[in-house]
């Protein structure tokens, strides 16, 4: 991709140790989707603007289209497929927070990051808080109301 020789990078993905042999500047998004066959993370813009590719690296939400794989060597990566996101995935399903689904994995991962942050801060999850947390994740379909409702339902453990 960038002319650099392939190198081995080892990191955990959703709790499992994985090794990818690729160029150091290969995008994490491509390594996840193409090398590790985890196609949940989506590419929207490819430029860090839409959030469709959001994953957690050591608990921090990042745009995986902007992260070179060399930066996650030894780190813990969590994707939409991973454990611990079941309640969020179910809330988006139950509350109608997905239409075409392109933005949905990023919304789900960012919601999880927001829930974790609320818990750490001892803050009650509110719709306004969800709106702020998800402000960097773009959706062309839903109008956001159901996405915010899904995030709040997940955080409150009350999806129908
Ligand atoms: S695909 Fe990464 S931010 Fe849009
Ligand atoms: S559901 Fe289509 S972009 Fe959000």
Residue 136 Cβ contacting ligand 1 at under 6 Å: no
Extract the tokens encoding 76.
Answer: 């813990």
Question: Given this model, what pLDDT does residue 68 score?
Answer: 98
Asked if 92 and 144 touch (Cβ cutoff 8 Å), the reply is no
Q: Which domains does the chain have, with CATH numbers?
A: 7-78 (3.10.20.30), 86-156 (1.10.150.120)
Asked if 150 and 92 touch (Cβ cutoff 8 Å), the reply is yes
**Which of 51, 142, 145, 148, when mutated, tests ligand 2's pocket best, judged by the most ligand atoms within 8 Å of its CB?**
142
**Which of 33, 39, 61, 65, when mutated, tests ligand 1's pocket best, judged by the most ligand atoms within 8 Å of its CB?**
65
Position 158 confidence tier, pLDDT thresholds 50, 70, 90:
confident
- pLDDT, mean over the chain: 95
Quote the pTM value: 0.95
User: Which run of H or of E encompasses 108?
Assistant: helix 104-121
Question: Given this model, what pLDDT does residue 40 score?
Answer: 98
Question: Given this model, what pLDDT does residue 53 score?
Answer: 98
Q: What is the pLDDT of residues 63-96, one digit of tens each?
A: 999 999 999 999 999 999 999 999 999 999 999 9
Question: Given this model, what pLDDT does residue 2 score?
Answer: 52
- Ligand nearest 143 Cα, by number? 2
User: Which residue in this structure is represented by tokens 């603007």?
Assistant: 49
């Amino acid at each position: 991709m960038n002319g650099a020789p392939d190198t081995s990078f080892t990191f955990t993905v959703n709790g499992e140790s994985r090794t990818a042999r690729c160029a150091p500047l290969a995008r994490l998004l491509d390594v996840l989707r193409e090398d590790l066959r985890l196609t949940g993370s989506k590419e929207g813009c490819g430029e860090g603007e839409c959030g469709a590719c959001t994953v957690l690296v050591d608990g921090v939400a990042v745009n995986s289209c902007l992260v070179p794989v060399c930066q996650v060597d030894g780190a813990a990566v969590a994707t939409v497929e991973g454990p611990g996101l079941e309640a969020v995935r179910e809330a988006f399903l139950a509350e109608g927070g997905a239409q075409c689904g392109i933005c949905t994995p990023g919304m789900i991962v960012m919601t999880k990051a927001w829930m974790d942050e609320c818990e750490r801060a001892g803050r009650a999850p509110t719709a306004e808080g969800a709106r702020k947390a998800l402000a960097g994740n773009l959706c062309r379909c839903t109008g956001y109301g159901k996405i915010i409702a899904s995030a709040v339902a997940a955080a409150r453990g009350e999806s129908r």
